Structure 1
Amino acid sequence: MGDMAGPGRRGVLAFGAVVVLAACTSTAKSADGAKVRTDLEPLERRFAALGALSGAHWLGTALGTDSRMSVPGPTDVRVVGTAQLRAGAVAAIMGAPQRSFQSETPRQLPGELAEFMPKGARWVRSDSFDSEMTGGTYPGAFYLDPGTDTVYFDTTNPSVSASSGP
């Protein structure tokens, strides 16, 4: 009886793996584009120092979710996307001498956001500006394109700015 259970069990496990993979693939395909958000309020509350935003396209995705975990715990959320700043806002941000912006291209761009990135952008980034934006309370990178007054942000668990109220 033990010999018969082995192959049968392996067959069931292999079939289960195929079903899980197929389910993941079909879910990913149907979710493309649907997850992209355009609401501004959550971004403006978290990134108040950028001022008024428009034309936002962003994702809020849970990181490190593992269905095998037996104890529920806090989930890290990656908030990543682009938004348009007021005309001249990027030049004003870059004008502060302590910020020392350098050319740098965003990494790990989610495929769902590729079509919303400005064509021919010349991204710049500053560690000191990132620190100002995050207040040192969460990881985040803010890339700016002076030509289009666009920001690309890639953050984890961005907290609401203290100056924006509750």
Structure 2
Amino acid sequence: MGDMSELGRRAMLALGAVTALGAVTVLAACTSTAKHADSGKVRTDPEPLERRFTALGPLSGAHWLGTVLGNDSRRSVPGPTDVRVVGTAQLRANAVAVITGAPQWNFRPRTPGQLPGELTEFMPKDARWVRSDSFDREVTGGTYSGTFYLDPGTNTVYFDTTNPSVAASTEP
């Protein structure tokens, strides 16, 4: 019986080592995500946005932030890290009119909230924002949270998302 007890103890120690290794791997992945998020630095590259928001088509004039959410100075148990991706971009000519004109989306006037100060200067002046819950679901594929405000007058999108994934977006 002593051999079985020793075997069980060894199995528990091995399981603990595997769990600790997994926690280190998750922590490394979170740190990598945080480094890529560059909190506070306005980015202008449209490619990461185009891969995530394919329903919007080609983008230009992008100004956006990736901010790690819930980051604190205390060391806690490693876990998933949420990243807020928020910003503006230009759609191709008349793309916003085509999207907002489609009756299935039911766009309505709405004003964006929680705009980071670093992006204020990139918002179009006198924009007439419209938004559609069903269009938001189309862009996100229902796999992450996100809101997309469109301004037909400037062909601009303002997006505010959490953990946007490449595979979630659908083709227009």
User: What TM-score bracket applies, with the shorter chain setting the length?
Assistant: 0.7 to 0.9
Q: Sequence identity, in percent?
A: 80
C-alpha separation between the residues in 1 aligned to 2:78 and 2:103?
45
Give the match's secondary structure for 1:94.
helix
Aligned partner of 1:135 among 134, 141, 147: 141
The alpha carbon displacement at 1:162 in A equals: 5.5
Question: What per-residue deviation string (whole Å, max 9, x for no partner) do you get for residues 64-114 of structure 1?
Answer: 012224212111000000000001000110121111001000000000000
Give the match's secondary structure for 2:157.
strand
State which drifts further: 70-79 or 100-109.
70-79
Aligned partner of 1:70 among 56, 73, 76: 76
8 Å contact from structure 1 (residues 36, 59) kept in 2: yes
8 Å contact from structure 1 (residues 50, 85) kept in 2: yes
Say how many residue pairs are matched.
133
8 Å contact from structure 2 (residues 44, 63) kept in 1: yes
Which amino acid letter does the alignment assign opposite residue 138 of structure 1?
Y
Which amino acid letter does the alignment assign opposite residue 83 of structure 1?
A
C-alpha separation between the residues in 1 aligned to 2:49 and 2:43?
11
Which amino acid letter does the alignment assign opposite residue 98 of structure 1?
Q
8 Å contact from structure 2 (residues 87, 158) kept in 1: yes
After TM superposition, list the pairs within 5 Å mapping 1:92-111 onto structure 2.
92-111=98-117
Point out where structure 1 has 5 or more consecutive residues left out of the alignment: 1-30
TM-score (ref. length: structure 2)? 0.73
Which amino acid letter does the alignment assign opposite residue 61 of structure 1?
T
Aligned partner of 1:149 among 118, 133, 155: 155
C-alpha separation between the residues in 1 aligned to 2:163 and 2:64?
14
Change (3 A) 1:162 1:78: closer
Is 1:52 the counterpart of 2:58? The answer is yes
TM-score (ref. length: structure 1)? 0.76
